[in-house]
Structure 1
Amino acid sequence: MRLGKVISSLLTGLPTTLILLVLSFVFASLIGIGLAWLCLRRSLVVRGLARGYLGIVRGTPPLLMLLVVYYGLPKLFLLAGIDINNWDKLFFAIAALAIGWSAYLAEAFRSAFLSVDTGQYEAALAVGMNTHQAFRRIIMPQTFLIAIPNIENLLIGLVKATSLVYVIGIVDMYSTATDLSNQNQGVYQLEIFVVLALIYWLIVLLIELGFRRFRKHYQYVTV
């Protein structure tokens, strides 16, 4: 089998992989920020609920989370009279990955926030800023900068986790590679999966490059 045919076949699943990656990361970040905020509340009940969610989600393997969401979410919605059994499988995959990664991102945001010296917040108030200005202009930029390395690592981990969606029948790059290998009765199996690994590696390299440039720009802007 020619290398060009292998690459072109695998790239047919790239758009699905990228859609999964981008959308699940965006939703996971939004949920993670909300969870981090809840974990920092003074209410013991609110913090307890948030920590309980984090514990359950972080203790659930990504593959199991995917299966639980795919088979369990339709039944949960049916309790409210909503039938989502015919919804696109991408919805369930994005939901599962977003739920799974939201817990890790929440911890990244929470730990970064706690790493910022509280004295800077007090100093901002002392020079005339209100609480909103101090949080937005002093605390948040530093929190985000501290969290960037963990966010980068979690995004890279999410790249690899997208390959799990084949178990619910979504045709992504990994699923395409498996089908291509089966069509050739496993004769070119090694070559196919080596090429697939290189494609994933290139995606990770682009993410690392993007974060490196963003980090330099962000540090320059916040100085």
Structure 2
Amino acid sequence: MFTGLITAIATIASATPLGADKHHGKHITLRVEPQWLQGLQLGDSIAISGACMTVVDLQSDGFAVDISAESLARTTGLDAVGALVNLEQSLALSTKLGGHLVTGHVDGVGHVATFEPVGESWLLEVDAPPELGKFFAYKGSIVVNGVSLTVNRVQDLPQHCRVSINLIPHTVQHTNLHQLQKGAAVNLEIDLIARYVERMLSTDRRNHHV
């Protein structure tokens, strides 16, 4: 589990295929400030731009993970050499829950419709897959590239669901969201509570139709 509060930005240093065909994933190495690695161990869970991965190798200036073909197909930006990615180490019971409960399971890939300054803040509008629209609500939570954010507006459009978010300067400066531009792909995770509520409601609806 994670909180959606980013603690470091890393650079993808390499992406090496684990096999010869499309069914194999990739071995990804990342470079990050050495002090962030203190206490990190093999087998630890790390959220990389919102996707939970397992540390398989440690170096003095970074670490490595193996990402399956399935994960690569359902996410964006995790094997782009030179790209910046957001990092968060897994939640401990003593950790402050400053964001919201985040699983690190990406539910879909959205695309940036708007990213522009408004006063001292930034307006971010993301077009999410339409099937995720029912999980978003005004003042509810959403995860974008691993960052816990608050939804300010939801628009159900014919081809997608548009979610509007206000970003404060600190969030823009200390995450990889500062490099967003129109059309950019982003990893999305829905709110954990909304996920279970929808499951319970859908089960209840089916039972009443029996």
Instruction: Please confirm whether the aligned pair reaches a TM-score higher than 0.5, indicating the same fold.
Output: no
TM range (shorter): under 0.3
Determine which structure has greater relative contact order: mean sequence separation of CA pairs < 8 Å that are 6+ residues apart, divided by chain length. Answer: 1
Q: TM-score, normalised by structure 1?
A: 0.21
More helix by share: 1
Larger radius of gyration: 1
